Structure 1
């Protein structure tokens, strides 16, 4: 009874930690490209949001419609617009606890929720104006409702309605939500006899989900990843060992940790997950007596594997991962770490099960088991804190706020501005509140005689450093054309550089 009374306080402490990590420095960094695009597009209204999403054909509109409503209510400051993702990230930690309780027990739920709370990857996307915290929350809700549908003694309309609603919203939040639904369908097919009572509700839900998602399937066929363009996926590299390793590091919370410590956390976490797949207390029984093996007729190795709930969590983890990998090789690259954010709770649950299993192997219910569990949790937490420190201290987005202020204080009527690359104008558009409107010119035009002739006298250049897809040094080209003396001002906001030319 005492332990049961303490549990709510523990989850409250974990939620407080999750809230602190997700709200800390929430508005400290400038918006980067994708965030600025989302905010400025959502300001245009629901109709424009849907039009842009349909034209893009890759990103479904639900999150952006919600963001449009959020901006209308709370405004568009960095803190206000990022607060939506932060709150969703905190909710995801609580839902991970609930899933752990539903699938295993409270201890597993608590450990898994702690791991999600301190995951630098989850914290990062809880501080971005992007749909991934929403994807995480809806994935967790979908699995909770899926389990309740399967376990209900009698079919219930509320389970049917909420499960169908969540799955529709999940699919309209991100296309990888479809993979989550696919994992659930696969699990039900494996255990359809066990859950025969849920047959009508389960398949009815899938039919409703398919019916409501069918308009977007049409968009996918015509404009999206099933069509000929799929421009929204063109930037994704083909999977390689380094790409898969980078994705795995990120999902295990090691993405912000350099070198050996990052590799250590990744492999340690994966080892705990592997330990979670096996049920060690059974192995202890077999050590004491071979009688159970003879009675069941099962070989020891087969009996070591845990039951249906572990299979469910494995499908939750592996189905989206390997399906995206297969499709990336067979069709178009689409494997990105943030697209797979929905599998992180499955990793946390398996790692929590692994800690329970290793601890029970050391000593069932005794002091040694508790000490072992605490030590394993402490190792994960300590190395994860290194990643969080690196994220808060060492990682910085482009300082568009300062760069834009630099331009505002010296902008004059008739000034023109060039961005390299061209699409980086979005963060500037979000921050610029200057008195004078600047004429935006493409960098391709400015490098031609006609484009240069269109400039009155002064030209601002905002340039990002060269990379694999940015191989033109516009500043150097302008030096060649107009001479070094044309440069009258420069502002460095690493790695962003702003130049002012008098031409």
Structure 2
């Protein structure tokens, strides 16, 4: 075997192993911590739709803004895998991994048009690696949504279209039609990809050799047009059926073209679509490299077009020193046309669909215009990777085409190769900057799991579940797949409406589980629904979960007697004797990652025993220190009892691994379970660290004090913002999360709000970043608000009213008087003049 052939085989093996390594890395990045993220609204909707029969999925998606193919595929997937979020997301992970493999193949094929096989393979590997580490591509490969499937289908459609253009077989045409049609049935915004493919084909057809017979050119036109008509025919029935579902979407908000392009470029390079200006120091140099790479491709094409009878020297094998073989002028033109065709295709897919996404997102009436969301751009990321990698490889290959002595050619080859390596490393580093904070941010939040587990533990066949209100209903529906009723979030609840809604449910069931969400106060601030149930219930059981609550209202005496009985099986993962007798037989927890101020919902199961008390808490695995000591009172019982224990993660607890513990009957510490804590604390501010323009001494309940405020301006105009900063302090023992309300109250009645309220902002302190459970003793919390004043607010004096309240019950924290007794439920802070 010749040395050249051995080198070629060795290089091929190395490239294969390199691609295997890229795929393994891509698989790891797409499955790592895939289950460590709460199911969000759209994911919940996906699972809810996939639970229907295939025919009902068609009905549901016919009235939605997304077509049915992904949901049909998810229906089949979950039939095999079940409803666990991590497993359902694996479908997208596998589709995303296939997209990486196809990006390599497509990038390599495109680059072979004007580069040597070795450089073309390197271009494919770099394209695959860029997509592998793209945070944006990874994120949407870890979602129960259709975007990974749409991305794969876009690559397949482009792959097949190129094969058709190169005179491919019928199976290539069939693949093109199938991939494009499937893409349209997956995502309506797949249509711009289809349009971009046709733009590139039209350029190819017009630029083809004009000396060919007119009849041959017409046959090509009709063949291609026939494929497009077949796609239209396959998709048209669905488009007509579902037109009413998506054409009525008209909720877009304006976005400036420069802002759109800024977000688009940052998404492609860094993979983060928010606060994009912070990455300018990376994205601007990256833009220069990208334009340089595209320029190199254009230069290659122009240089090749000027050579009448030979291909670019880069087409020669790097393993030989011989000049490239002579090629006919017609073959030369064909290669150049193929190069320009692929370049046109990639640029069309990157630019044309993005412009259409922008145009579609502009607010108009009676047209499909969803609000702009960066996730619509994810299907274009592989083509950015291919174009960039191809251009960088073209820069690197220039040394192989330098004319001169062997030494001069080798010198330039080394220089251009190092340049390509440096540019590739920089673009990969830019992508890794975006990827680095991605996985630490994937934390499984216990929003509904603990709450739903309590329903599952105590619910009986005659019970009903009511979601109050249903703003986040897909998330709840994912965790609670059984039947439930929802109070519409758009309702303004009155006593009559509460009775009309609840009466039929109450009369048909033995009990009602009321799931109170943070949105319930918006439509029912007077709490008419829970009041209606409490007035008629024979027993009430309440459970608290962060900013939500679960309440059982029993209708009959028989159901009330079983309110605390556990009809379901319990985990048998402990065997610990407890004070007062009885045995701790099991525990469960829905989440395992927490940060400072979070509440751990722990469920303990005890078998028998008299009334007694024990202690649970956290043990730091690194230092064996004990944290969050929480007493547990056990009632006397003959059977099995389930006790919910809420453990507050102290702000002082350091980051690291922890175990739970319980004291047994002998007082010994028995560790169990595992969890991690991430200490998340702001700088500790004291009164000496801040300048407060208006000191105040106002004492609220729960040990919370307002020590002052700053007002940005005392005079404002309608439609402007009132800038307000509140300064809070506490004794450090606030064990519950409270929201702050800020109101602008005028002397003129506001018909829109139904009261004298002309501006309002409610949130947890410091824009939801400093819950009251994270406050440390003596710390000053700077809490900023921008209160919007209604545009039609009349001139006059407006009072700024503030206070705190429990987001679940709506109950306000009392403002204490000098004697420590409740004096009011709000504080009039100051006034502003409206001109």
Q: Same fold, TM exceeding 0.5? A: yes
Q: Out of 16, 19, 22, which is 1:14 matched to?
A: 22
After TM superposition, the structure 1 = structure 2 runs for residues 140-159 of structure 1, keeping only pairs within 5 Å, are: 140-152=155-167, 156-159=169-172
Match for residue 165 of structure 1?
Answer: 178
SS at match of 1:279: helix
Match for residue 450 of structure 1?
Answer: 496
Instruction: Tell me the C-alpha RMSD between the 2 structures.
Output: 3.8
Check if 1:46 corresponds to 2:54. yes
Check if 1:342 corresponds to 2:396. no
Contact persistence 2:266–2:276 (CA under 8 A): no
After TM superposition, the structure 1 = structure 2 runs for residues 69-148 of structure 1, keeping only pairs within 5 Å, are: 69-104=76-111, 105-148=120-163
Structure 1: where are the runs of 5+ without partners? 294-302, 465-469
Report the CA distance between 1:319 and its aligned residue: 1.2
- In structure 2, the CA distance between the partners of 1:126 and 1:276, relative to structure 1 (3 Å rule), is same
Report the CA distance between 1:163 and its aligned residue: 1.5
Contact persistence 1:38–1:129 (CA under 8 A): yes
Check if 1:499 corresponds to 2:546. no
After TM superposition, the structure 1 = structure 2 runs for residues 149-298 of structure 1, keeping only pairs within 5 Å, are: 149-152=164-167, 156-193=169-206, 194=208, 196=217, 198-219=220-241, 221-225=243-247, 229-230=248-249, 234-240=250-256, 241-255=258-272, 262-279=279-296, 282=299
Q: Out of 427, 434, 437, which is 1:387 matched to?
A: 434
TM value normalised by structure 2: 0.50
- In structure 2, the CA distance between the partners of 1:42 and 1:488, relative to structure 1 (3 Å rule), is closer
Residues in 2 aligned to 1:192 and 1:120: alpha-carbon distance in whole angstroms: 37
Residues in 2 aligned to 1:159 and 1:77: alpha-carbon distance in whole angstroms: 37
Report the CA distance between 1:474 and its aligned residue: 6.3
State the structure with bigger RCO (CA 8 A, min sep 6), 1 or 2. 1
Task: Flag the structure with larger Rg.
Answer: 2
Equivalent pairs, count: 466
Check if 1:351 corresponds to 2:388. yes
- In structure 2, the CA distance between the partners of 1:244 and 1:307, relative to structure 1 (3 Å rule), is closer
Contact persistence 2:154–2:183 (CA under 8 A): yes
Contact persistence 1:136–1:341 (CA under 8 A): yes
- In structure 2, the CA distance between the partners of 1:409 and 1:80, relative to structure 1 (3 Å rule), is closer
Report the CA distance between 1:255 and its aligned residue: 0.6
Residues in 2 aligned to 1:178 and 1:282: alpha-carbon distance in whole angstroms: 31
TM value normalised by structure 1: 0.80
- In structure 2, the CA distance between the partners of 1:203 and 1:397, relative to structure 1 (3 Å rule), is farther
Report the CA distance between 1:35 and its aligned residue: 0.9
Contact persistence 2:124–2:390 (CA under 8 A): no
Structure with the higher strand share, 1 or 2 = 2
Report the CA distance between 1:490 and its aligned residue: 3.9
- In structure 2, the CA distance between the partners of 1:387 and 1:412, relative to structure 1 (3 Å rule), is same
Q: Deviations over 1:102-146 (max 9, x none)?
A: 111222211111111001110000000100000000000001100
Match for residue 463 of structure 1?
Answer: 518
SS at match of 1:386: helix
Q: Deviations over 1:215-269 (max 9, x none)?
A: 12313544432xxx23xxx444333244543343223333168666633343333
Structure with the higher helix share, 1 or 2 = 1
Report the CA distance between 1:410 and its aligned residue: 8.6
Match for residue 213 of structure 2?
Answer: none
Q: Deviations over 1:129-177 (max 9, x none)?
A: 100000000000001100101112xx62212222111111111111122
Residues in 2 aligned to 1:489 and 1:498: alpha-carbon distance in whole angstroms: 14
- In structure 2, the CA distance between the partners of 1:356 and 1:156, relative to structure 1 (3 Å rule), is closer
Residues in 2 aligned to 1:99 and 1:280: alpha-carbon distance in whole angstroms: 16
Residues in 2 aligned to 1:199 and 1:72: alpha-carbon distance in whole angstroms: 44
Q: Deviations over 1:189-232 (max 9, x none)?
A: 1121428575454222112101101112313544432xxx23xx
Residues in 2 aligned to 1:402 and 1:78: alpha-carbon distance in whole angstroms: 12
Residues in 1 aligned to 2:351 and 2:298: alpha-carbon distance in whole angstroms: 25
Match for residue 44 of structure 2?
Answer: 36
Report the CA distance between 1:76 and its aligned residue: 1.7
